[in-house]
Structure 1
Amino acid sequence: MNFIPVRKILKCLGIYKKRDRTPISLHSYIDSVPQRNEYTNRRWIMLLFIISGILLLISQYRALPKQTFTEVPEKIVNIDEFEAIYKDDNNYSVIRRMVEVNTSTVQDIMLSTTVKDILSRDENIFVQTKKAQELRKQEQTNGHLPFCFHKIHSNHSANLESEELHKQLSVIKPGGYYYPKNCRSRHKVAILVPYRDRETNLAVFVFKIHPFLMRQNLEYRIFVIEQAGNQSFNRGCLFNVGFKEIFKYNNWQCVVFHDVDLIPLDDRILYTCPSFPRHMCGTVVQKENLPYYKYHTLFGGVSSMSVRHFEAVNGFANVYWGWGGEDNDLFWRIHAAKLPIVRYNKTLARYTSLPHIKQHENPNRYRLLSNGAERCKIDGLSNLVYTVILVTENHLYTRILVDIDRMKNITDTF
């Protein structure tokens, strides 16, 4: 029978001493009674404190979530290495499931008190309520279905003019929303595409990317975040705006940040929700096979993050107006948060680049990168200012036209 060595524990703690059994006189015994009573009281008080502390620690331990992160190498350059590391870990199944429970509550932006804005807000609330009802109906419909199994193809190409492709795209819901009919997807993915004045690239992109994503049995929606006005293009700010807006449509688990001119060439490039930030664009074949691994701090082109991790790094920086810098800034934010970056092998993660006119470079990008670590807490999702002008649900994507005023998003003071 198990027992607890109370006396030994108390002796170690210094609150127990062996009883003195030496014969003493009656007067000495009477004189020692108050001292022994004081010692006994002090001992019981110490015991109560110890027991209370143990109970408090147990209650706090039960209230804390299970630790899902384990020590990982600082740099993981191959997805196979990542899988090999964690499949041997007892927490592998926990790590793989953690992105499935990430949800986020996003506050709406402050609206002015004009009659037009009030009517627009009421209409928006009505639309969100309607979408929530549709989602509940969908969950009731396919909640009994088994989880999807994804069969990986090495290569797959689609002809834009084929009747089979148009028939396949006909099952997509308005707004570019899709979910498998015969099974439940394990991943809810929002695809964010920053955009302005690239109609041809956008048309090719949505026709190519939908069959690619459907073959992976994902539940996804494509959001095209369009910048209004003629100010310099701000890719990072548009991603932040899109992240704020997407939760009006679904409780997404992760986000894929995707340039409109990049098309994946291999079905082994998974757009599933990653356990850690994932850089997906390894090689751009139309740019003399430009290897993205050549630049250690690059996190651009196509990348994905869980909702939890993107909020933890405060999103993209809002201060990069013009081409370049925002992806490197995000790399250092992820590094500061002590999160490893998973990179696909460059021979697998091959993309083709659609022809387009190069944007004007940001002349201040290197200066901004020099103090990016100091700015990450105050520049990003936390200080984003924008106005939604128009939301349109096209057949293959949801278009969100936004105004991001440069004067309201602080730039030149950094």
Structure 2
Amino acid sequence: MPKWFPINKLLQIRVSSCIVFLLCLVAVIQFFASYGRYHYEHIPREQLLTNIFFKTNPKLEINKEKPKCNYDGILQSTSSIDTQEVPRKFGDFTTNGLANGSYTPENCNPLLSVAILVSYRNRQSQLDIFIPYMHNFLRKQGIHYTIYIIEQQDDKPWNKGLLYNIGAKQAIADRFPCLILHDIDLLPLDIGNLYACLQEPRHMSASIDKFRFVLTYNYLVGGALAIRSDQYIAVNGFSNKFEGWGGEDDDFAGRMKAKNLKVLRYPRELSRYTMLAHPQEQKNSERSRILSENQMNYSKDGLGNAEYSVKSVHRNTLFTLIGVKT
């Protein structure tokens, strides 16, 4: 026989349980309603071509017998790769047309030259996916590009901003007019995502699967960002002070805003990326303080005063590897 249980106490428990459930439900609804933006301000698809920064590397040899590359078809493409279909092995990968990490279209003269800068340390499994995937993706776009891997070859705290500054200096010395700052764990999914700079900086990875394909906050510029070389110089590049994870991208957003540069984006259906699984770097506990202090000191901390030692520059078939110690 069950023991007698006071009915008033039972009712109190039921009411309390209902209240807790409702509060949890409201919290979940508010979270999904406020966390990120599924729809965000972007350039209409029909205006993309007129916003592109058409400029090539002056070192690029032009064959006058070839036509100019056309980008209308790519920008109007509605094809995409499902996240479940992203390959993890590339046994059939070929290096056709690749040299020193660079590619130049064979059938037409490109109107775009792009340097893709990738900061790197101890992510070999991701590198093995990123490099063949990106070459397969980019060789179909009719652009001239070089992939630079900037490797931090020491045990000091991770410094992504400094690595980007080092890569930018090399790419600018190599005469590239457009820089794309790219995390190694992100892969583009939309065929129409043309890897090119616009007249203003362009945040490319606005919709990432890990974040439910929403823009987590409006001034986000991390992940993949395209910026003209002259603009990168004008904002004095990235801060060199952010060690560990976090803060450097928001600081860079502040630098662009200080120079009245507006961050543009493609439509959502051209901005989707998948993120490869990876362990996260240790968070920078000082990032909030550095962000606050840097607002008045952008000119004193950045591209112009980066301190580092380049140990080697190897121009391999698949990428140019810049080995550095910070």
Q: What TM-score comes out, normalization by structure 2 length? A: 0.79
Aligned-residue offset at 1:176: 1.3
Aligned-residue offset at 1:334: 0.6
Give the whole-Å Cα distance in 1 for the aligned partners of 2:110 and 2:56.
14
Per the alignment, do residues 159 and 324 of structure 1 end up closer, same or farther by CA in structure 2, a change over 3 Å counting?
closer
1:261 aligned residue:
185
Aligned-residue offset at 1:372: 2.4
SS at the partner of 1:192? strand
2:245 paired with 1:245: no
Identity level (%): 35
1:199 aligned residue:
124
Post-superposition CA distance 1:99-145 (Å, at most 9, x none): 52798xxxxxxxxxxxxxxxxxxxxxxxxxxxxxxx5xx616x2442
Post-superposition CA distance 1:279-306 (Å, at most 9, x none): 0111221x25152x23122110000100
Give the whole-Å Cα distance in 2 for the aligned partners of 1:161 and 1:353.
16
2:67 aligned residue:
146
Give the whole-Å Cα distance in 2 for the aligned partners of 1:364 and 1:213.
37
Mapping 1:334-345, distance limit 5 Å: 334-345=256-267
Match 1:298 to one of 220, 238, 242: 220
2:212 paired with 1:289: yes
Match 2:114 to one of 173, 181, 189: 189
Match 1:224 to one of 149, 173, 186: 149
1:170 aligned residue:
96
Q: Which runs of 5+ in 1 are unaligned?
A: 1-75, 104-134, 405-414
The residue identity in structure 2 corresponding to 1:371 is E
Give the whole-Å Cα distance in 1 for the aligned partners of 2:166 and 2:89.
34
Give the whole-Å Cα distance in 2 for the aligned partners of 1:309 and 1:399.
24
Aligned-residue offset at 1:357: 0.7
Give the whole-Å Cα distance in 2 for the aligned partners of 1:184 and 1:80.
27
Work out whether residues 102 and 308 of structure 1, in 8 Å CA contact, stay in contact via their aligned partners in 2. no
Give the whole-Å Cα distance in 2 for the aligned partners of 1:372 and 1:284.
28
Give the whole-Å Cα distance in 2 for the aligned partners of 1:320 and 1:235.
8
Per the alignment, do residues 143 and 247 of structure 1 end up closer, same or farther by CA in structure 2, a change over 3 Å counting?
farther
From the two aligned structures, give the one with the greater helix fraction: 1
Mapping 1:73-112, distance limit 5 Å: 77-80=41-44, 83=47, 100=55
Instruction: Give the structure, 1 or 2, with the largest relative contact order (CA under 8 Å, sep 6 or more).
Output: 2
Q: Quick check: which has more Rg, 1 or 2?
A: 1
2:273 paired with 1:351: yes
The residue identity in structure 1 corresponding to 2:131 is V
Give the whole-Å Cα distance in 2 for the aligned partners of 1:82 and 1:280.
17
Per the alignment, do residues 392 and 176 of structure 1 end up closer, same or farther by CA in structure 2, a change over 3 Å counting?
same
Work out whether residues 332 and 372 of structure 1, in 8 Å CA contact, stay in contact via their aligned partners in 2. no
Task: Give RMSD over aligned pairs.
Answer: 2.4
Aligned-residue offset at 1:223: 0.3
Work out whether residues 208 and 272 of structure 2, in 8 Å CA contact, stay in contact via their aligned partners in 1. yes
Give the whole-Å Cα distance in 2 for the aligned partners of 1:155 and 1:82.
17
2:299 paired with 1:374: no
Per the alignment, do residues 290 and 360 of structure 1 end up closer, same or farther by CA in structure 2, a change over 3 Å counting?
farther
SS at the partner of 1:239? helix
Work out whether residues 232 and 321 of structure 1, in 8 Å CA contact, stay in contact via their aligned partners in 2. yes
Q: Which runs of 5+ in 2 are unaligned?
A: 1-39
Q: What TM-score comes out, normalization by structure 1 length? A: 0.63
Post-superposition CA distance 1:126-179 (Å, at most 9, x none): xxxxxxxxx5xx616x2442210132233355756667x524x33211x21100
Work out whether residues 255 and 307 of structure 1, in 8 Å CA contact, stay in contact via their aligned partners in 2. yes
Aligned-residue offset at 1:371: 2.5
Work out whether residues 282 and 347 of structure 1, in 8 Å CA contact, stay in contact via their aligned partners in 2. no
Work out whether residues 282 and 348 of structure 1, in 8 Å CA contact, stay in contact via their aligned partners in 2. no
Work out whether residues 56 and 113 of structure 2, in 8 Å CA contact, stay in contact via their aligned partners in 1. no
Aligned-residue offset at 1:252: 0.8
Aligned-residue offset at 1:373: 1.9
